[in-house]
Homo-oligomer: A and B are copies of this chain.
């Protein structure tokens, strides 16, 4: 965990462009620049469809800022080339213009927060490595929570599209039980990984996954479907279900447990299914937990569920994954 022996990262063209795109792909654990490019296209599609192109620009800015932080701090070249500085930053970049008003200082905060995730990721990995787990997207979650909470006190960066603090949850919306609507809910579960509420974006994301790793696409699709079924069975808040908000954390849990930290196998598939179901309950629990502040859970449920299912270190007598295109720091 010391940088002394490692070669520092240096900026180059087009190498750094590739590494930035990989940072986008790493949000769903794919090191491929093409996957990352499709993710960015999906983000811009969804952001522009919703009349909020600033979410797309925020994603680019956050990606650049967090990668820049890794470079200037002289972190390991391997991490930079794998895109591991960018995935938290791009999520910060999607979240800030979604939840904060688009004032100039918001962009300053966005850059600060995105850079902060880079060293928090390293620091937090120094902690979690001792328990053989990874910090996942928790640096994004933690830092964004701090800034969203602070926005109620720092009146120069007001909140935009956020729930009011409350003690009682407002259950609203309605489920449309037609197959077409269901496909929409299912795809939005995938698109919400990047805070985008758009079925086309969800489809683009699945294609992006498939061109890098077909199993990642299959597990993402399966996890979104399973989460949707569980959420409906337990009569979760329809407004959230129809917006895909019960899907995005399970999608990440599914990819992580099913294809990254365990090798694809029927035993690990059962374990993944259990983890996906647990993620739905953790999502619902965290929705209640966040009520008094009116801030979103972000991908917190994914982090907690994945840690719960990795910490026991069950081997199930299957080989560990090969991880040719992804590495734990």
Contacts and interface: CB of A to CB of B under 8 A. Distances in A.
A112 to B, nearest CB: 7
Number of copies of this protein chain within its complex: 3
A146 B234 CA distance: 15
Interface string A127-148: 1001110000000000001111
Contacts of A164: 167
Residue of A152, A169, A307 with most chain B CB atoms under a 10 A cut-off: A152
A79 interface: no
The residue in A145, A147, A155, A164 that gathers the most chain B C-beta atoms within 10 A of its C-beta is: A155
Contacts of A314: 3, 73-74, 119
Contact of A311 (B126, B169, B281): B126
Contact of A315 (B3, B155, B166, B168): B3
Interface stretch (A39-47, A177-185, A288-296, A319-327): A288-296
Q: Which size class do A's interface residues fall under?
A: 35 or more
A17 interface: no
A149 interface: yes
A124 interface: yes
A4 interface: yes
B131 A152 contact: no
A156 interface: yes
Interface in A149-164: 149-157, 164
B165 A165 contact: no
Interface string A105-116: 100010010001
Contact of A285 (B149, B289, B310): B149
B235 A288 contact: no
A81 interface: no
Contact of A150 (B132, B157, B281, B312): B281
Contact of A277 (B4, B112, B122): B112
A313 interface: yes
Interface of A is mostly: helix
Contacts of A207: none
Contacts of A156: 233-235
Contact of A288 (B4, B130, B237, B293): B293
Contacts of A147: 281, 285
A77 to B, nearest CB: 16
A119 B308 contact: yes
A315 B156 CA distance: 35
A203 interface: no
Interface of A: 1-4, 73-74, 105, 109, 112, 116, 119-120, 122-124, 126-127, 130-132, 145-157, 164-169, 171, 231, 233-237, 240, 277-278, 281-289, 291-293, 307-315
Given A150-B285, A152-B169, 10 more contacts: A105-B234, A109-B281, A119-B309, A119-B312, A127-B131, A150-B282, A153-B284, A154-B284, A157-B234, A165-B291
The 8 A-B residue pairs with the shortest CB-CB distance in the complex, in nearest-first order: A123-B311, A150-B284, A149-B285, A156-B235, A165-B167, A154-B234, A153-B284, A150-B285
